[in-house]
Structure 1
Amino acid sequence: MKTKNLYYFLFLLVLLITWSCSNTKFLPEGELLYVGAKVKVIDSLAPRKERKTLEKEFKGILRPKPNSKILGLRVKLYFYNLAGEPKKEKGFRYWLRNKAGEPPVLFSQVDLGYSTELIKNYSENRGYFKARALADSTRKGKRVTADFEARPGKQYRIKEIKFPTDSTALGRAIAATQDKTLFKTGEGYDLDRIKAERIRIDARLKEQGYYYFGPDYLKVQVDSTVGSYETDLIVKVKDETPNQAKRVFTIGKIIIYPNYSLKDGNRKIRQLEKDSTAVEYYHDFTIIDKEKLFNPRIFDRTLYFHKNDLYNRTNHNLSLNRLVNLGTFKFVKNQFTPADSLDNVLDAYYYLTPLKKKSIRVELLGKTNSANYTGTELSVNWNNRNTFKGAELFTISLFGGLEVQMAGQNNGFNVYRVGSETSLIWPRFIAPFKMQSSSGFVPKTKATLGYEFQKREQLYALNSFKGSYGYLWKENVRKEHQLNVTDIHYVSPNNVTDLYREQIVLNPTLAKVIEKQLIFGPTYSYTYTNTMETSKKHTIYYKGMFDTSGNVAGLLTGSDIKKGDTTKVFGVAFSQFVKLENDFRHYMKLGPESQLASRIIIGAGYGYGNSTELPYIKQFFIGGTNSIRAFRSRSIGPGSYLSESENSSFLPDQSGDIKLEMNMEYRAKLFSIVKGAVFVDAGNIWLMHKNPDKPGAEFSKKFIEQIAVGTGVGLRFDLSILLLRTDLAFPIRKPYYEDRQRWVIDEINFGSGSWRKENLVFNLAIGYPF
């Protein structure tokens, strides 16, 4: 069987090479296929490492780019040729040619003269002022390579940086920025760095009131006569800079139009300004709104500018960000104009267009979860913005959904969910003591009440009630906090079937699912991410969560379940525990359309006082579509323990107090909307204490020997509105096998039907796993 698979592989390889060779047969008469450029820097004045860097940079700026390759073959070009000329602008042939494929890049599109000028200009912008370049081409059959020979010479380096020394206020302000200059003596001349330095200086000046100044009013003169391959950089203000740009401005009047209409524009504004009933004065603000839609206090909390403040860009942007983040305004427009009667004074105008106060939104969602359930959810959301004229958001949501077991599990245990949630968000901190946030994001106080009825077909039903009160705030675009001062959950089961009770006999863990649970206490989470910075090669995401319940109540009542001294509320023993979970992700960009994504999750929880363990809904689970994809959801662990329900094909429900999970996935675009992935997942869960019913489940110093490992490949279909993910995975290490027999790589046999049935796991999901 393995020999047969090798023949298939060799046949596919020969077929792919044949495809690649056939691409030139479809070229127009007299045309040649451009297959790329080679750049050689042969100047001996530059070190070898510097020459290699320049060769890479020169090659990156050359245009056009040759046809893209996949595994060294121009598959997209083959698809283009295979499709031929479609008769209609639709259908499979049109899609194959214009979406999956790409037209040939012809050598006639290559301008060698223009490319040599690009190389010379780029060299001069990098300080190689005596650069030369030559171009030629090499033809092999119907393929042509462009060959470039660059002689950049020696790079000019910075000898001295000179800032203004005059006594004007602007000159002194520019000179004061020198401590943070981007220029460094000894470094090579770089035009891009000069442009960045002008922008940096302008940003510093904006913080000091120079509202009308701009980077174009600065010039950096280059004096290359100061030494051998050396240059001085002299920062100057251009002579043609207008006087207005040289002056510092303060804030005068602050006028706010909270009910501004883009349609009516200035005509309505002029009418309102003449109506004394429409004008309201509050602190330093003039608010013009006949309908009095908003309490003036929200502008005092939101706007950073006050009368006589020195203009600065930070407060300018923070004010705009806060107005946008209120979530009440559809459009936010800001304008600064010179005051009519005072020099060096700016009047600030804010034109705010409100969203509709009341709205209904209906959403139909496709969803998946870690338990390998896939389904839909319909939700209806009614919003009332500006509920109490303070930009509050009141929301009532009704939802219902169906989730079906996927990924080869035993079908029939479908989940039906219906429920409702009500929330009220205030755009400020509401607390007994004063709390402030100086970021560009409005801090929020949120209160929530919710109910959900969940029915798991043929098994049981659960009634869940929840309520919370807490705060959400962001330090900046990267850092976010959420603190729930109180977070209450109450879960009550009903309609438990005989089938489920029979399974409890085989797997006592399942009894936890239908226990009554009462959880109340504070929770906190912190999130940091810079994944939105797409230009970075390395980006990270981190979320840390701290969860606790019943600790004050347990301390006051002296509850100790080990002594039989438990405290109940409404007939239910409340949970007492602490729990900490960390989720760290790293993304490394390998190319324009490829990356290496990694994740590690470490979590632990400890029940004490009124509880011996974590309540079921707070315990850790592992396996499934967003976890270790080679194993069924919740089927791994704890430790080396194997549940009897695993062999009965009944839904496993293993949980633990400790979790360790590691994932690594290589992602790359294949063609059009199709992306591919290769991944490895590893991890397990453990119990904090030894359980005689679950041998091998407790955490010990041998925990590494109990790690489950799986691997696989997947396809992702990026449909813009959603990303559909398919993964095919199989285990390579099974923790419930005997010691020294847990690695099962030698058992892999794709040709065996029994092996495939037992080991291959297909996952269908929406979105990336991490």
Structure 2
Amino acid sequence: MKIRKTIKYLLGILIMSLTLWGCTGLRKLGDDEHLFSGSKIEFDSVQFVTEPGPTRSELKGLVKPNPNIKFLWMRPFLSIHNMVKEPEKEKGFKYWLKYKLGKPPVKLADLNLSQINDAMVNRLENRGHFHAFSNYEIINRRKTASVNFLETPQKPYIIRSISFPEENTGLARQVFGLRDETLIKTDKTYKLSDFEKERNRINKVLKNRGYFYFSSNYLAFDADTTVGNRQIDAQLIIKPDIPPDARNAFRLGEIEVFDDYSLQDYNPDTAAIDNYLYLSVNHNYKPKTILDAIFLEKDSLYSREMHYSTLSHLMGLGIYKYANARFIKADSGSNILDVGILLTPYKKMSLGAEVSAQLKTNNYFGPGVKLSFKNRNTFRGAEMFSVNLGGRFETQFSGDNVGETNFEITLDGTLSIPRFVPFKFGEKTVRKYVPATNITMGGGLFYRVQLYELHSFYTSLGYHWRSSEKISQVFKPFDVSFTNLANSSKEFDDYLNKNPTIKKSFDEQFILGSSYRFTYSNLYKRKNRTNFFYSGSLDVAGNITSLFTTAIQGYPPTSENQHQILGVPYSQYVRLRNEIRFFINRNTRSNFGFRVIVANGIPYGNSSILPYIKQFYVGGTNSVRAFRARTVGPGSYNPPDSLSNIYVDQSGDIKLETSLEYRFTIVDFFKAALFVDVGNIWLASEDEQRPGGKFNWNTFYKEFAVGTGLGFRLDFSVVVVRFDFAYPLRKPYLPEGERWFFNSGESSGDWRKNEMMLNVAIGYPF
């Protein structure tokens, strides 16, 4: 039986190979033409190379153009190019298909091998391997050809000493004073990039000390390689022919601020305010709001840092479309720069509308709409007031409850003030980023037809600020929400009565608390070898309320003897969530992504369970994708078939989840990923109605849900449309010994047919 099955598979592969033979893309090559298939870089004296990996990658990057993309034996995009006839115009679908999706053949003759060879020698010498050699060999294989480059790097040169200019002039003294922080280290291998970084470092410091017209190009290094023993004495020099202004430090003169600048018919009024000339036509903004964002001061030395911080802060106010600073010499003989800060505002008020559609893994699909209003300058101090009205409708198009519908309506308003209110500290502190005080209030209605209806209200006071490009923080000292189960069907009431723990999570959703979130991210540095993201949040609720009610009642609250506010039990808990993302960028076309989520919520005092809206979930498009949204867990709990007609989210107090993705570009915006997801949720306390749901240190590792799959992404930069096909490898609710799919008795064919889960979403999962 196995032999027949093997023969069947081999015949299938043979037939497929013959069918796709044309996909090699070689049939249109001429008799003397060879398709370039790739290159190899080898060193014949690798012991001399201090950084073999980066050096090989740098040399590999010189081999251009890149070969046609190959998948197994096929070159699908070259084949598309070959199959499509030449279009008559350089536009339209046919042109896009042949030259954008399809790719023309990259032939060996397209490579300038001599030029590439010389460039490799240059790069080796830039890394200290002076007098290096590079040779290449062409390997022909019928209609393809590859190139092997053999590099002969000599023993690298070492920095013996570094000296700075010692002339007794203003500029030379400034440069000499920076010698102790030099990036050029003695006894280290010579690298041209280190000298370029050193020039940029010095230029950056000088720019903050008034040297407005200075440039890193005005610095040069003399390298003496004649000292022997493959050593270098390096000397930094200031080029003698630089412009006179580049040798002088400049101070700031008059500073003019145009708060509503326009190129057309602009005749502003002028007022002198705190050493600034403030110019405005419409007088829409309080001058203090604008001037507090300007860190350039009259009579001070020019500073590039203050210059850029000013522009960044002004743009961060959210009221300006453009912010520019113009520096002009006051007169030809002085070292004074007059400044003009030109600010072009947005329209004060705007209306917006968004239409969306959502397809969920629980087979719900439906449209959504959001209407928004913004006032960017509510009280003339750059305060932004926004109102959003949203609605969403969805229906189940397949599964056990076809036709079941849900809808949601939300209304919220936010007043964002670009400073800390009511505090005065830091108003004129130099900040590149604008702090904000956010006051939010809103409510919503969620209706799961024929089951229940939830009404919600929330309000908060929060402070948001950035410490740097990488670090942002949010603190909400006042964070209140109330969610009420307004209506429910008899069927849903029966379910809650049979599950008192879940019933309490719906009943006790009056939250009076505070929260804090810390985020570190360098994901914006796309050229880094690695990227890291961390987000940690802490929610605490009910503690101050408990002190207040205890003082009134005379005894502390317990979950059996609860205190109430306005006739409703309030929630008391602490909730901690941590998320880490780590990316290893192999090159510009592929990377590995890794995510871990560890979260825990602990109810105490007045509560025995977390509020429903604060519990954790697993499953869905951004979680374990092989399972429907919010259907995994808790633990090994398996909902009975009697609940199949009541769609209830499976939730818990503890969450552990991780995902691993290998992402790669197929062509341009068309990308793909292989992924594995692992995760589950657990309960902190025993629940008789959900056996197997409690977290246990001895068994939790046996209760993870595991899924894997292949995803395709249309990455248009502004929006990413994602299609992830996922299969469950391990189901935690099955009996032990049967949880892995290969132990379940299900054939691989049935598994692929019955278990595939399609996730359609906007954006990457992490």
- The TM-score with structure 2 as length reference comes to 0.92
AA in 2 matched with 1:434: F
Structure 2 counterpart SS, 1:677: strand
Determine the structure 2 residue equivalent to 1:731. Answer: 728
Which among 285, 291, 310 is matched to residue 300 of structure 1?
A: 291
Cα distance in structure 1, aligned partners of 2:360 and 2:760: 10
- 1:132-171 aligned within 5 A: 132-171=133-172
Distance 1:80 1:744 in 2: 41
Q: 1:561 to 1:731 in 2, by over 3 A?
A: farther
Equivalent residue for 2:739? 742
**Contact between 2:64 and 2:111, CA under 8 Å: does it hold in 1?**
yes
Q: Which of 702, 713, 716 is the aligned partner of 2:713?
A: 716
CA separation of 1:301 and 1:14: change in aligned 2, threshold 3 A: farther
- 2:74 corresponds to 1:78: no
- Residue matched to 2:410: 419
Distance 1:233 1:301 in 2: 46
**Which ranges in structure 2 are unaligned for 5 or more consecutive residues?**
none
Find the partner of 1:583 among 572, 579, 585: 579
Contact kept? 1:594, 1:667, Cα under 8 Å: yes
Shift of 1:601: 0.9
Out of 205-214 and 8-17, give the one that drifted further.
8-17
Q: Which amino acid aligns with 1:19?
A: W
Higher mean C-alpha displacement, 8-17 vs 238-247 = 8-17
| Structure 1 pair 326–6 and aligned structure 2 pair: CA distance change class (3 A) | farther
Question: What amino acid does structure 2 have at the position aligned with 1:524?
Answer: Y
Q: Which amino acid letter does the alignment assign opposite residue 648 of structure 2? A: P
1:366-425 CA deviation, whole Å, 9 max, x = no partner?
A: 446787754332112111111111111111222212234478574333321222211111
Aligned residue for 1:302, secondary structure, equals coil
Find the aligned partners of 2:544 and 2:346 in 1 and give their Cα distance. Answer: 43
Change (3 A) 1:562 1:295: closer
Q: Specify which of 341, 345, 353 is matched with residue 344 of structure 2.
A: 353
> C-alpha displacement at 1:547, in angstroms?
1.0
Name the residue aligned to 1:549: 541
Q: Deviations over 1:671-696 (max 9, x none)?
A: 45432222222222122222233322
Structure 1, 595-604 or 5-14: larger mean CA deviation: 5-14
In structure 2, do the counterparts of structure 1 residues 221 and 374 end up closer, same or farther at CA, with 3 Å as the change threshold? Answer: farther
Change in 2 beyond 3 A, CA 1:591/1:468: same
* 1:338 equivalenced with 2:329 (yes/no): yes
Letter in 1 for 2:476: N
Amino acid at match of 2:524: M
2:173 aligned residue: 172
- Matched with 2:433 is 441
Question: Which residue pairs with 2:610 in the alignment?
Answer: 614
Which deviates further from its counterpart, 663-672 or 195-204? Answer: 663-672
Asked if the contact 1:370/1:626 (under 8 Å) is kept, the reply is no
- How many Å apart are 1:505 and its aligned residue? 5.3
Equivalent-residue separation in structure 1 for 2:763 and 2:400 (angstroms): 21
The C-alpha deviation readout for 1:240-295, integer Å capped at 9, x for no partner, is: 1222111122222221000100345xxx3xx54xxxxx112221221011322211
1:319-398 to structure 2, matched below 5 A, reads 319-340=310-331, 343-367=334-358, 373-398=364-389
Shift in Å at residue 517 of structure 1? 2.5
My pick for the range that moved more, 614-623 or 585-594, is 585-594
Residue type matched to 2:595 in 1? R
Q: Which runs of 5+ in 1 are unaligned?
A: 273-277
Q: What secondary structure, in the 3-state scheme, does the structure 1 residue paired with 2:531 have? A: strand
- Amino acid of the residue matched to residue 132 of structure 2? A
Cα separation, 2, equivalents of 1:605 and 1:147: 58
Q: Is the 8 A contact 2:397 2:403 kept in 1?
A: no
Q: Which residue of 1 aligns with 2:306?
A: 315
In 2 relative to 1, CA 221–14 (structure 1 residues): closer, same or farther, beyond 3 Å? farther
Distance 2:10 2:33 in 1: 34
Amino acid of the residue matched to residue 425 of structure 2? K
Measure, in 2, the Cα distance between the counterparts of 1:705 and 1:255: 68
Distance 1:584 1:50 in 2: 30
Cα–Cα, structure 1 residues 286 and 546, in superposed 2: closer, same or farther, change >3 Å? same
Q: Report sequence identity in percent.
A: 36
| Compared CA separation, residues 211 and 30, structure 1 to 2 (3 A) | same
Secondary structure, aligned partner of 1:184: coil
Measure how far apart 1:360 and its partner are. 0.9
Q: Distance in 2 between matches of 1:626 and 1:189?
A: 47
Separation of aligned partners in 2, 1:138 and 1:629? 45
Picking from 399, 402, 408, the partner of 2:393 is: 402
Sort the Cα spacing of 1:192 and 1:491 in 2 relative to 1 into closer, same or farther, 3 A. same
Aligned ranges 1:224-263 → 2 under 5 Å? 224-263=225-264
SS of aligned partner of 1:26:
coil
**Aligned with 1:643 (options 639, 644, 657):** 639
The amino acid that maps onto 1:376 is P
Q: Bigger CA drift: 457-466 or 141-150?
A: 141-150
Q: CA deviation at 1:607?
A: 1.6
Partner of 2:125: 124
How far off its partner does 1:539 sit? 0.7
CA contact (8 A) 1:691 1:697 kept: yes
What is the Cα deviation at residue 718 of structure 1?
2.8
Aligned position for 2:34: 32
SS at match of 2:27: helix
- Following superposition, the deviation at residue 102 of structure 1 comes to 1.0
Please give the secondary structure, in 1, of the residue aligned with 2:548.
helix
When structure 1 is superposed on structure 2, of 312-321 and 104-113 the one drifting more is: 104-113
In the other structure, the counterpart of 2:623 is: 627
Distance 1:590 1:372 in 2: 36
User: Equivalents in 2 of 1:388, 1:594: separation in Å?
Assistant: 48
> 1:597, CA displacement in angstroms?
1.3
CA distance in 1, matches of 2:365, 2:145: 51
- Rounded to whole Å, the distance in 2 between the matches of 1:512 and 1:240 is 80
2:507 equivalent among 515, 518, 522: 515
Aligned to 1:534: 526
Specify whether residues 646 and 631 from structure 1 end up closer, same or farther in structure 2 by C-alpha distance, changes over 3 A only.
farther
Between 1:500-509 and 1:378-387, the stretch displaced more is 500-509
Q: CA contact under 8 A between 2:504 and 2:609: conserved in structure 1?
A: no
Letter paired with 2:131: K
Per-residue CA deviation, residues 31-74 of structure 1 (Å, 9 max, x unaligned), is 332223344444x5953776786555333212222222234643
Answer yes or no: is the 8 Å Cα contact 1:407–1:761 preserved in 2: no
Q: Which amino acid aligns with 2:617?
A: F
Aligned CA RMSD, in angstroms, stands at 2.9
Shift of 1:16: 4.9
Q: Report how far residue 13 of structure 1 moved.
A: 7.0
Corresponding letter in the other structure for 1:333: N
Aligned length: 758
Q: What is the identity, as a one-letter code, of the residue corresponding to 2:347?
A: K
Q: Is contact 1:332-1:352 (8 Å) kept?
A: yes
Q: Which amino acid aligns with 1:304?
A: F
With 143-152 and 390-399 compared, the bigger mean Cα shift is at 143-152
More off after superposition, 514-523 vs 364-373: 364-373
AA matched with 1:306: E
Contact 1:408 1:762 in 2 (8 A): no
Contact 1:503–1:510 under 8 Å retained in 2:
no
SS in 1 for 2:513: strand
User: Could you tell me how far 1:534 is from its partner in structure 2?
Assistant: 0.5
Q: Is contact 1:406-1:763 (8 Å) kept? A: no
458-467 vs 511-520, greater mean Cα deviation: 511-520
* CA pair 138-657 structure 1, distance change in 2 beyond 3 A: closer
SS of the residue corresponding to residue 453 of structure 1 reads strand
Q: Deviation per CA, 1:180-212, whole angstroms, max 9, x where unpaired?
A: 222122333332322222111100111222111
The TM-score with structure 1 as length reference comes to: 0.91
Out of 645, 664, 677, the residue aligned to residue 681 of structure 1 is 677
Partner Cα separation in structure 2 for residue 64 and residue 756 of structure 1: 40
